[in-house]
Structure 1
Amino acid sequence: MKSLIFFTLLSFTLASWSQDIVSKVTICWDKSSSMEDRDLKKDFSVLENYFNKSKKIEVQLLLFDIEVREKSFTVLKGGWDDIRLELLNVKYDGATVFSDLKEKIKYKDVFVFTDGKRLTENDMILLPPKSIIVNNSVERDVQFLERAALLNSSRLIDIMPTLNDTVKHDSTSVDQNKLGKLKGTVFINNKPSSNTIVTVKGKSESFTTDADGIFSVLAEVGDTLLITNRNNRTLKLIPVEFLSYMKVFLESDIISLDEVTVVEERQQQERLNNGYSTYTKDQLGYEIATIETDEITAIETTPGDVVRNKVSGVDVSTKNSSGVEGGIAQTEIRGRNSINMNANALVVVDGIPINRSGSELDLSTVMYERNIANFNFIDPGNIKKVTVLKGLAATNQWGSAGANGVILITTKTGGATSSQKSIRVDKARLKNNIYDENTELTGPVSSYLKAFEKSKSLEDAYEVYQTLKDINPENNMLYLDAFSYFKSKDKNMASCVISNLWESDPKNIDVLKLLSLAYTSIEDYNLASIINNEIISINPKVVNTHLNQALLLKNQNKPKESLTALLELLNGNSNYGINTSGIYKTLNREVRNLVFTSKDNLHGMDIATKYQNNVTYKVRLVFEWNHPGAEFELQFVNPQNRYYNWKHTNDDNKERIKDEIENEYSLEEFEFSGDNVNGKWIVNALSLQDFKSNNTLPLVLKTTIYKDYGSSLQSKEQVFVHFTKFNEKKNLININVD
């Protein structure tokens, strides 16, 4: 019966077209992954009936997914075998974007074969009146197809029955939200916590967080949540003030009562170790200077680099920045005042004096003998604080050894006790930071990448990908590996492949964040912009998304709009009430750089003087990642083959990790300047993320490399790298700095 109704409707529609002399038609054929199980016989029957109505028809065939590919055919006397063969050989892949069809459609008579599965609420099919939309897929978007037909004054031929169960489920979900559904994530020690119990105080029903720490409870403003986890011996009481997404932070072995606890903290005084004991700064009362850990940058790969140019009156030799000769081994604090010409400061590591370099006078030969101390065992990444003691009184306990001043180095893992007899060396803090490229990188190439690389051509590689996709269509790693392989060979192919993640879960914000980084890295700014807008509509608090969307405006030749958006973020005037303090440095530099590079296109804008002078660097590196709070390490290897590790881990950067999760940003940058950075640099990354299954979204890093930053020769390159397992180490970039 349904087939009879279908063909009756089809005959009526085609008859209305045949009243005119129809000689041109556009066929829009959805080739996204969701259409792979379409019933081709039913679709072909529609075309068969149409082509038999005219003797000659010019056909524009638009094959579309996230892009539109056009082909042309001529059908004579109903012979459409070439079109049939083309459609039989379509490779279904990726997601669907409908809005691009409007600019491609040439003719007034249009067929659109689709299930209507769109990625965003704003995407819409725009068609000439009297077009025909055809669907034969069970898993289609009924409401979208009906609305598209209505808005375009077109006809919908929907062969499949309506899925009442799906509609009913959706309405139930809406009703629950009206009742006060409160969702959130529980973090223990800055990591999502599963099996944590969430209870509304005064109610018997409780809820348990899932593997990602997510919970959902029915509550109302004024309720109190009791959150407990016995395994970590922790609980927390939290008042419900808003029915919005909630992030709850707990620490193991701590009980927190946010409603009633008042904490009074004593002012902490800076404490210094002079080698024998620990004192407050006031107790010492001497002239000192301190370099904290946050002042130590990635390009400072030796202790000498850490101190150089940061303390007045301190001269660190630069003969050899590796530390073998020069560096902290030869540091003068007050100038030469030693009778035997040894003017170098004493270096004390965690209370232990280290032999220093010097030129000693040998009275037997009346000649100076040089001895060069080696400080390569000190990893700058492990330095917590450097204190320079300039005053003679501060070095009394070191006697004549401290006459030239003392440099106290406190490491993160070492330490000294108050008694000299119990001072011990923690060997874990001392490490030989010589880079060995043959052993540093870990993990074999994935089986997917191996299969692609064995292919004889790009077409063969895509066939291999299609075969693997048929076998395991839900494996996220397949799409990421395929994207990594195709991105340097065919950006359109890479763009389509990665969109499968979008097609399978279009509202998953973690998927969207990953895709935003991926599309930006291959400069597909149109899709990146669509995704960013979708992220903002779902969660307007994601800081990186607002920054990237502002920068995309510049790439879309809208510098004024870009500058306005950046300044709103920088000055805290955003309508979304987001906290951008975590990326303040980046925002400031982007504003200055935009003014510098686009000044001829910013006429009429009132730009503050402070933004009209750009900063310059030989190289600027900006790192972004998809999970705020993700754990990883960046390794910077300098031209002397010494390395420094920037540790983005809960153990080393606990407060920063928490701040990232709370304020939803995930970005850091490093700069290279000065003559001592010239040469070849290697940057690697080590993933410390756990992977629960093949469907878990992995850690993704996008690196933007600016060379000659802030000058007329400025260039930009973007690198996208994903990780497939814990403790995997990959090379990000190799760069020559000059």
Structure 2
Amino acid sequence: MKRLSILVILLANLLDAQGVENNTITICWDTSFSMLSRDMEKEFEILEKIFKKNPDQTVQLLLFDIAIEEKVFQINNGDWSELKTTLTSVVPDGATVYEGLAAKIANKTVYFFTDGNALVPDEVLPVKKGNYVISSALGRNEEFLKKSALVGRGRLMDFAAILPDNIKATAAAKELPNKKEITGTVYIDNVPTNDIEIRIIGSNKIIKTDSSGKFSLPAVPGDSILITSRANKTMKTVPIGYFNNSLDVFLKANVTTLDEVVVTEQRVNAISEDLVNTGNGLKSKEEIGYAVQSIDSEDITPIQTDIRQSVQGRFSGVNLGPGEDLTQVTMRTNATILGNNYGLIVIDGVPMEQNDSSFGSSSNAASSFVNPDNVADITVLKGYAATNRYGSAGNNGVILITTKTASYGGGTGGTKNTALAQNNVYDPEAKIIITKSALTKALEAYTDMDKAYGKYLTLRNFNENNDSFYLDAFEFFKDKDRKLAARVISNLWEKNSDKESYLSLVALSLRYLGDYDAVQILNNQLNTAKPTALQPFFTEAKLQLEQKEYQAALDRLITLANGGAYGTMEVSPISKSLERELKNLIFQKRDVLDITKVAEPYFKNTQMNMRLLVEWSNAKTEFNVQFVNPQNRYFNWEHTSAANSGRIEEEVSLGYAMEEFELYDDLKGNWKINADFLGNLDRDNSEPLVLLCSVYSNFGYPSQTKKLVWLYLDGQNPKKEIIALKI
């Protein structure tokens, strides 16, 4: 009853204020998706009283969601029917963004009709003394509305505050003023895992992850969460900061490394004596007198399609970085700073070309031709075991690979080498089948975009919580009406403003449209959520490049390449992209840049026929990028746990989701590049994946061109073509 009395008083004050001669007012009318629950009748009652009190005035109307549309109406004799018709015809859609309103407001007297569901942290309405903030939406943000009115010395009319449910919610919130709900997912070996114990250190209350590995508990900044898995004998402590609302915790299990000993599951061997390959034939482990590690074909699963996957994590002290070939293996620590630290690969007794990590080396040795299905065993040799036969070439360790061909063929010669990759022939007649949604089929019937948008709004009533619905609509509008496309895709921002993967999804989509102001807001939000993440810093530089702010882009790239402002960021995973962007920027725009602080290596540009930079919305997803060459042989780059479990964990930890690819003219003809979605790590999560692909032709040359390709993948259409091109 008290709140209702306050509203009556405020309404009376509003009418008294209108008694002062004022012929111009501004109405800021929120048209975002969350305003679907507004009480139009109550808001119209207020406008009716305003125009009754002052019947002749000019109204500046600002309709705002992700963009701002301005209209002007002349009210005569209290007749505001034209304005009323306009407001009635607006269907809420898109994200709530207040930035830009202040610059548009032309009058001293302003009425803000909004629910206060700001998407940008610390944002406030541009309220000034005497302005009114009016809210009737059920799901309004009461705290934001109060803060905006208080800071601007305005007046708040919150009609929804008198509803019983909102009164109860306000009372409940006061009971835990400092607590915030922390949600998260625990992954063990990149798999969401249930029954993991979670508790705040210092508290005896224990909760457990559900069947999808998810948990939720109240915490305050400064708390530390202890995550424990007794079954997997692993634990981790995670501190809660001011920016933490959602956590992804990655734990390892099953393999424990103790110096030269690898503890694995006990297996009964079929042979009576434990023999290992030493490079000089099979010998008993008890006889050789030094440490030798070995696995056989039983340890190599069918899902492993690259020989590096068979080695990764199976041997103590054997290290492979994300995306590195087996020929780039290191054992224990690096022996030299400037020299070669890579080990030697020996296949069926024949040493392969050795890769070289030495400064200035251009070695391109690779082991991708080895088919894991044809491997009989793999042995790791170090120290004396490695050098007693292979000399200095084995100084950094040796990996012996024996193929089934050699093992079963008895060395008689003339046997077909089936260690080479098999069955990677691409059928040029095969078509990627795209299943069109009901929305896509309906929209394709229209050539008039306003009518198509009306159809979208009608069908949205049945698809409000369907992510693919908004992505299908975006795909239809993106090259036909970019303004409508931006409004449509921003709904996923409005509905998922606390989820980083959705913020990235919308940011990638808006980058395709060239809506850099909105992308900047999203990028700042991502940076605030995780200040050490690499991707927002890289995106900042890309935005500056797109807006021709070349010096700012150069400075940003150099700072990032040097490890950020404090030199503490781990940038090696994206160093190739940074280097290429820097070199190319200097090559293309050297005459307008201050390059006095640029290191000498960046002055030598990198050139290639085609450069492909792929960025994706969610690191916690699995997919392949497939390259089909002119000979119709395909090669997959795999973003999967099976291919490289450490890569996905690293992306989540360091905050990046991107990869570089290049094609040269040593194999000319028609190339095809496809993307194949395999699903999210959390199999209960049906979130689609968005890819933004920057395709550069003649990269590094004066004739360089760039094309952006946007596509999304989901369970309905998991495979799509990125681009077909001729080299």
Give 1:717-728 correspondences, 5 Å limit: 717-725=707-715, 728=718
Corresponding residue of 2:448: 457
Q: What CA distance in whole angstroms lies between the structure 1 residues aligned with 2:686 and 2:527? A: 23
Q: What CA distance in whole angstroms lies between the structure 2 residues aligned with 1:80 and 1:679? A: 66
The correspondence for 2:645, drawn from 654, 678, 683, is 654
Give 1:14-163 correspondences, 5 Å limit: 14-20=15-21, 22-54=22-54, 56-161=56-161, 163=166
**Matched AA of 1:723:** L
Q: What CA distance in whole angstroms lies between the structure 2 residues aligned with 1:437 and 1:173? A: 62
Give 1:481-630 correspondences, 5 Å limit: 481-575=472-566, 577-603=568-594, 606-630=597-621
Counterpart secondary structure, 1:653: helix
Change in CA separation of 1:440 and 1:349 when aligned onto 2, cut-off 3 Å = farther
Q: In terms of mean alpha carbon deviation, does 604-613 or 71-80 score higher? A: 604-613
Asked if structure 2 preserves the Cα contact closer than 8 Å seen for 1:276 and 1:351, the reply is no
Asked if structure 2 preserves the Cα contact closer than 8 Å seen for 1:29 and 1:62, the reply is yes
Asked if structure 2 preserves the Cα contact closer than 8 Å seen for 1:193 and 1:213, the reply is yes
Q: 1:80, CA displacement in angstroms? A: 1.3
Asked if structure 2 preserves the Cα contact closer than 8 Å seen for 1:541 and 1:664, the reply is yes
Q: 1:49, CA displacement in angstroms? A: 1.9
Asked if structure 2 preserves the Cα contact closer than 8 Å seen for 1:623 and 1:667, the reply is yes
**Matched AA of 1:644:** F
Asked whether 1:466 is paired with 2:464, we answer no
Q: What CA distance in whole angstroms lies between the structure 2 residues aligned with 1:148 and 1:125? A: 6
Corresponding residue of 1:445: 436
Asked if structure 2 preserves the Cα contact closer than 8 Å seen for 1:639 and 1:678, the reply is yes
Give 1:139-538 correspondences, 5 Å limit: 139-161=139-161, 163-167=166-170, 169-170=172-173, 175-176=178-179, 185-198=185-198, 205-210=205-210, 212-215=212-215, 225-229=227-231, 234-238=232-236, 240=237, 242-243=239-240, 248-250=249-251, 254=254, 256=256, 262-264=258-260, 415-416=404-405, 418-421=407-410, 431-538=422-529
1:183-238 alpha-carbon deviations (Å, 9 max, x no partner): 76422232332343447899875432245534457999899653145xxxx33144
Q: What CA distance in whole angstroms lies between the structure 1 residues aligned with 2:370 and 2:618? A: 23
Asked if structure 2 preserves the Cα contact closer than 8 Å seen for 1:525 and 1:552, the reply is yes
Asked if structure 2 preserves the Cα contact closer than 8 Å seen for 1:200 and 1:225, the reply is no
Change in CA separation of 1:197 and 1:130 when aligned onto 2, cut-off 3 Å = closer
Q: 1:349, CA displacement in angstroms? A: 9.7
| Structure number with larger C-alpha Rg | 1
Q: What CA distance in whole angstroms lies between the structure 1 residues aligned with 2:171 and 2:123? A: 24
Q: 1:41, CA displacement in angstroms? A: 1.7
Q: What CA distance in whole angstroms lies between the structure 1 residues aligned with 2:704 and 2:252? A: 45
Corresponding residue of 1:712: 702
Q: What CA distance in whole angstroms lies between the structure 1 residues aligned with 2:158 and 2:142? A: 9
The correspondence for 2:724, drawn from 709, 734, 737, is 734
The gaps in structure 1 that reach 5 residues or longer are 278-291, 295-309, 311-347, 353-377, 387-409
Percent identical:
33
**Matched AA of 1:117:** N
Asked whether 1:688 is paired with 2:689, we answer no
Q: 1:105, CA displacement in angstroms? A: 1.6
Counterpart secondary structure, 1:717: strand
Change in CA separation of 1:603 and 1:454 when aligned onto 2, cut-off 3 Å = same
Counterpart secondary structure, 2:229: strand
Q: What CA distance in whole angstroms lies between the structure 2 residues aligned with 1:413 and 1:492? A: 60
Q: 1:14, CA displacement in angstroms? A: 3.6
Q: 1:574, CA displacement in angstroms? A: 3.9
Change in CA separation of 1:222 and 1:736 when aligned onto 2, cut-off 3 Å = closer
Asked if structure 1 preserves the Cα contact closer than 8 Å seen for 2:626 and 2:637, the reply is yes
TM-score (norm: length of structure 1): 0.72
**Matched AA of 1:74:** Q
Change in CA separation of 1:437 and 1:728 when aligned onto 2, cut-off 3 Å = farther
**Matched AA of 1:136:** S
**Matched AA of 1:111:** Y
The gaps in structure 2 that reach 5 residues or longer are 263-276, 284-305, 309-326, 328-345, 351-366, 376-398
Corresponding residue of 2:687: 697
Change in CA separation of 1:8 and 1:215 when aligned onto 2, cut-off 3 Å = closer
Q: What CA distance in whole angstroms lies between the structure 2 residues aligned with 1:736 and 1:534? A: 39
Q: 1:88, CA displacement in angstroms? A: 0.9
When the two structures are aligned, how many residues end up with a matched partner?
607
1:405-433 alpha-carbon deviations (Å, 9 max, x no partner): xxxxx999964454534999898975454
Asked if structure 2 preserves the Cα contact closer than 8 Å seen for 1:221 and 1:243, the reply is yes
How big is the alpha-carbon RMSD for the aligned residues of Structure 1 and Structure 2?
4.2
Q: What CA distance in whole angstroms lies between the structure 2 residues aligned with 1:463 and 1:562? A: 40
Q: 1:519, CA displacement in angstroms? A: 1.6
**Matched AA of 2:155:** R
Q: 1:263, CA displacement in angstroms? A: 3.0
Counterpart secondary structure, 1:562: helix
Q: 1:462, CA displacement in angstroms? A: 1.7
**Matched AA of 2:137:** S
**Matched AA of 1:652:** A
1:290-330 alpha-carbon deviations (Å, 9 max, x no partner): xx989xxxxxxxxxxxxxxx9xxxxxxxxxxxxxxxxxxxx
Q: What CA distance in whole angstroms lies between the structure 1 residues aligned with 2:572 and 2:18? A: 61
Q: 1:380, CA displacement in angstroms? A: 5.2
1:109-149 alpha-carbon deviations (Å, 9 max, x no partner): 22221111100123222245422221112321222222222
